[in-house]
Amino acid sequence: MLSFRDIEAARVRVRDSLFLTPCAESQTLSRLTGARVWLKLENLQMTGSFKERGAANRLATLGPDERAAGVITASAGNHGQALAYHGARLSLSVKVVMPEGTPLNKVQATRGFGAEVVLAGATYDDAAEHAARLRAADGRVYVHPFDDELVMAGQGTIGLELLEQNPYVEAVVVPIGGGGLAAGLAVAIKETNPRIKVYGVQTAALPSMARALEAGHPVVVPSAKTIADGIAVKRAGARTLEVVRRYVDDIALVDEEEIAEAILVLLEREKTVAEGAGAVGLAALLARRLPVDGKRVAVVLSGGNIDVNVVSRIIERGLVKTGRLARTRVVVPDVAGALAGVTRAVAAAGANIVEIRHDRAFAEAALGETVIELCLETRGFDHIAEVHAELAKVGVRPVEQGRESNR
C-alpha cells in the first residue's frame, strides 16, 4: 500500500518540475458556505491541473530501456496533457488515447505538448481498453492515470504542501474519480495528523468510488454524461480503493446543477476558472453536504481545463437562475408604434434588451396582433416584476412566460 515515505520521495523528485500552487483564503466563499475556506489552486499548474504531479513522479522513475520505449496512457484529458508536457521535458515519446467525446481544448492541448493522440471509444474506460491493446502491440510503458502507486504518491505532494501552507486546517475536500488524488492526499494528511478530516466528492452521475466502498471492491457503474468529465470514471481503481477505504472519512455526491453553480461562483466571485471536476469540492460545500460548519477547510481546486463553450452555457444558465437574464413574450396590436411602446416601457424599468423577435405567423395570436419575444438583462426577479409592471401601464401583459421568469 502507498506509504508516507513514498510521498516524501515523490516530492524530492518533482520539486523542481512543478509550481508550488497557492492556498488562498476566500472570505466570500466562507460566507457562502459557513466554513472558513481556503482554495488549493491546482488549476495554476502549467497544464492546468494537479495531474502533473503524478505524471512527473512516474516518468522520473523510468529506466533507460523504458525511456527508449516511450509511454502510453488513456486519459479523459488532464492526465494526457500532464504526461505529454513532462514527457516532452524529458524527451520521451508519448501516446495518449482519449475518448472520442473529449473536449476539443484538451485534445488540442495534448497534441500541442507533443503527444500522439488517438481518439477511441465513448468513455474513459473504452479508451483504456484500446490503450491496453496498443501497448501490447508496441511495447510502450503504460502509465495509469490513477491506479499506480507512483502516480498516487505524486498527487500526495499536494497534501504535504497544504499542511505547510495551512498547518491548522481541520478538513480537506478533494475530488474523486478513479481515486489517485484522494488516495495520495489522504495518506499525506492522515499520516501527519489523523485528526484532520479528509472528504471526497464525486459526481452523482458516476459515483464509482462510493459504490466500490459499499460493495467492498471495485464495481462498474453505468455510463453517464457529466459536466465533470475529468472524474467520469466508471470503475474506481483497486489500489486507490484500498487507500481510500482506510484514510478517507466520507464521500459526498453532487449533481450537475450544483457543479455548474460552483463553476459560476468561482468565476464570478473568485475570478478563478475551474472545470467541472475541479469544482465538485466547492459544490459540496455550497450544497452543505459535509459537516464542516465553522471549520478551517481546504478545498482542492484540481483543474481548470474547461471548454469555453461550456463556460458560456453555464454563465447563461446562471444568469437565468438568478433573474439576471429573462425572457418575456407579449401580445400587442400589429400596428405602427406598438413596438415603440414596449421598448419605452422596458427602458422606463431600467432593463436592457438583448434580443427582440416578432412572430406573426406561428404564435397563437389573433389576426391583427403580433407576439413579441424579448430577451432582457435584468438585476434579479424583483426587477423582472418591475418590467412587467411598466408593460402593464401601456396595456401590455406578458403571456406564456418562459421558465426563466417563472417562480
**Candidates 49, 75, 208, 302; catalytic one:** 302
| Cβ-based neighbours of 328, under 8 Å, separated by 6 or more | 373, 374, 376, 384, 387, 388, 391, 398, 401, 402, 405
Question: Is 40 one of the annotated active-site residues of the chain?
Answer: no
Q: Which residue in the list 40, 51, 95, 234 is annotated as catalytic?
A: 51
**Distance between CA 272 and CA 105 in Å, rounded?**
18
Nearest by Cα to 262 from 279, 246, 250 = 279
DSSP string, 249-306: -EEEEE-HHHHHHHHHHHHHHS-----HHHHHHHHHHHTT-SS-TTSEEEEEE-B---
- The kind and range of the H/E element at 128 are helix 124-138
Contact 313, 113 (CB under 8 A): no
Whole-angstrom Cα distance, residue 277 to residue 226?
9
Nearest-5° angle of CA 81, CA 85, CA 86? 120
Distance of alpha carbon 236 from alpha carbon 209, whole angstroms: 5
51 carries an active-site annotation: yes
**Cα angle for residues 107, 108, 111 (degrees, 5° grid):** 90
Q: Rounded CA gap, 365 and 371, in Å? A: 7
CB–CB of 387/375 below 8 Å?
no
In 287-326, which residue ranges form alpha helices assigned H by DSSP? 308-321
Within a 10 A sphere around the Cβ of 19, how many other Cβ atoms? Answer: 11
SS3 283: helix
Beta bridge partners of 142: 72
Give phi and psi for 150, each to the nearest 5. Answer: -70, -35
Task: Cite the active site residues.
Answer: 51, 302
